[in-house]
Amino acid sequence: MILTIIGVIILILALILLLILFIPFHISLYLKKQDTDIKGKIKISWWKIRIIQRDIPAEEKSKKKKEEKKKKKKKRKINIDDFLKILKEFINAFPQFIPIFQAFFKSIILEKVNLNFNIGFFSPVTTALFSGCFWSISSILNLIPPLNLSITPDFQNSKFDGSIDLAIKLKLYPIFAALIRAITKKPVLKLFWSMRKLNQ
> Domains of the chain: which residue ranges?
24-55+77-199
Helix or strand or coil: residue 171?
coil
Give the phi and the psi of residue 51 in degrees, each rounded to 5: -100, -50
Summarize pLDDT for 51-80 with one digit per residue, the tens: 999 999 876 554 455 555 555 555 556 678
Beta strands in the chain (DSSP E): 25-34, 37-46, 49-56, 108-120, 147-153, 159-170
Q: How many residues does the chain have?
A: 200
Tell me the whole-structure pTM to 2 decimals.
Answer: 0.78
Summarize pLDDT for 8-54 with one digit per residue, the tens: 999 999 999 999 999 999 999 999 999 889 999 999 999 889 999 99
117 burial via Cβ count (<10 Å: 0-12, 13-18, 19+): buried
